[in-house]
Structure 1
Amino acid sequence: MTVDLFIPCLVDQFYPQTGINMVKVLKAAGVQVQYNPVQTCCGQAPYLNGYWEEAKVIGEKFIGAFNDENYVVGPSASCVAFVRNHYDKLFYNSGLHLEYKKLKKRIFELSDFLVSILGVVDFKAVLEEKAVLHSECSGSNRYGLSDQPLKLMKNVEGLQLLDISAGERSCGFQGLGPRQLDNIAERLLKVYCQKVMDVGASTIIVVDPSCMLNFNTYIQKQKLPLKVMHIADVLSSGN
């Protein structure tokens, strides 16, 4: 099987190693990976800020970059959910409507693809950490992730997963959060990070680079004894 690699903007600009680690994980799962360098943004950022026409132009290029029959796999639940859920609004009754419908069925978030499509949950990863697995709101509410990330993390040797309040799902990012709702976002981050430290965890594991960036920005600003890891980084650890 060959899959097309989708690298979101934040991974490309801030966390390229996470993209590299995703390739390692996919290859360890037994699939071939190909990357189309003409791909850019999925269009989520301009769309959420009200620039629908600009988002449509970007979306047209995105659809064109993934116009084969392969699965498309990305390390961002929010970006994949945006393509699945909002391209219909941008391309309904257009010349790209059928192409979008085909792409919608083929594009997956990394952990969902590994568990639901490939059925692979153990990558012989080793990570001696006490961590909280962040059940982020976009992944749960918009993409539909359930226990796929947990199934993968349960097989990481040395990793101790700790629980915080089941109601804590938002890091405050939400596309507009850090820029236009910064006071609310910072309060959410403060509460979340304090709960992580209260249970004795030192690491927050995420499935989305937007959460990763938001957590890291706050943690560095407040000089907290925490670190953030993407699930791809965890699965490639120790190998």
Structure 2
Amino acid sequence: MKVSLFVTCLGDLFFVNASKATVELLEHLGCEVEFPKAQTCCGQPTFNSGYHEQTREVAKLMIETFDHAEYVVSPSGSCAYMFHAYEDLFEEDDVWREKARKLKEKTYELTQFIVEVLQVTDVGATFEGTATYHSSCHMTRLLGVKEAPFTLLNNVQGLNMIDLPNRSDCCGFGGTFAVKMSSISGEMVEEKAEHIESTDAQYLIGADGGCLLNIGGRLHHNGSEVKVLHIAEVLNNRG
């Protein structure tokens, strides 16, 4: 099975190990992975800021970049959802709306792809430690991926998962929200950090770079010893 990796901006700049782990994990599961070099930002920052005309230009580039792909897989639920949102951007353009629909139908978040397409619930990972998991807003509420991460994590040998209090609460990142509403965002991520600390977990696991960057920054600021990991890094660990 051929997979085109949509690595995302944050994956490229801040979560290189998670990006590498994504490739290795997919190859371990029998996929042939390619990386289209023309890919760029998905356009979510401009879209969320109301610049839809500019976002349409980005969307056209990404649609063309992944036109040949059998499947598109991303280690970010938020960015994978943005591909799904392209269809609405072209509601008055039948040609591009159809192209966007085809991209939407073949685009998956990493854990969603593993569980729903590959039909795998145990990737053979081993990871010693106690962890809790942050459920990101876009991935759960918009993309609809809720159980796949837990299905895979619960089958990791040696990993003890602890439920995160109010895990469905937003961490306060929200892309441009963290910039425009920084004081509110700061209070939200502080509350999230307190909930994480209350679990006594060694690790915080997540599937969205933006959330992990935001939460990890606050935990570090607070002097916390909790380590932040992308789920791909855990699932790719062979002990």
TM-score (norm 1): 0.95
Bigger mean CA deviation after superposition, 158-167 or 12-21: 158-167
Cα drift, residue 70 of structure 1: 0.5
- Tell me the distance in 1 between the aligned counterparts of 2:31 and 2:167: 36
Cα drift, residue 123 of structure 1: 2.1
Cα drift, residue 169 of structure 1: 2.7
- Tell me the distance in 1 between the aligned counterparts of 2:192 and 2:42: 28
Tell me the equivalent position of 2:162: 162
Equivalent residue runs for 1:103-182 within 5 Å: 103-166=103-166, 168-182=168-182
- Tell me the distance in 1 between the aligned counterparts of 2:218 and 2:54: 30
- One-letter code of the match for 2:27? K
Cα drift, residue 168 of structure 1: 4.1
- One-letter code of the match for 1:186? G
- Tell me the distance in 2 between the aligned counterparts of 1:168 and 1:98: 33
- Tell me the distance in 2 between the aligned counterparts of 1:47 and 1:171: 20
1:88 and 2:87 aligned: yes
Per-residue displacement from partner, 1:124-182 (whole Å, max 9, x unpaired)? 22211211111121111011012100010011111111113245431111122321111
1:8 and 2:8 aligned: yes
Decide whether the 8 Å contact of 2:3 with 2:69 is kept in 1: no
Q: SS of the counterpart of 2:99? A: helix
Tell me the equivalent position of 1:36: 36
Decide whether the 8 Å contact of 1:168 with 1:192 is kept in 2: no
Decide whether the 8 Å contact of 1:76 with 1:209 is kept in 2: yes
1:21 and 2:18 aligned: no
- Tell me the distance in 2 between the aligned counterparts of 1:159 and 1:91: 44
Cα drift, residue 230 of structure 1: 0.7
Tell me the equivalent position of 2:222: 222
- Tell me the distance in 2 between the aligned counterparts of 1:111 and 1:177: 26
Bigger mean CA deviation after superposition, 202-211 or 173-182: 173-182
- One-letter code of the match for 2:187? R
1:136/1:88 CA distance change after superposition, 3 Å: same
Tell me the equivalent position of 1:232: 232
Cα drift, residue 93 of structure 1: 3.1
Equivalent residue runs for 1:39-54 within 5 Å: 39-54=39-54
- Tell me the distance in 2 between the aligned counterparts of 1:97 and 1:195: 42
Equivalent residue runs for 1:164-203 within 5 Å: 164-166=164-166, 168-203=168-203
Unaligned 5+ segments in structure 2 are none
**Runs ≥4 residues deviating over 6 A:** none
- One-letter code of the match for 2:111? S
Task: Figure out how many residues of one structure are paired with residues of the other and give that number.
Answer: 238
Q: CA RMSD in A?
A: 1.4
- Tell me the distance in 1 between the aligned counterparts of 2:78 and 2:200: 28
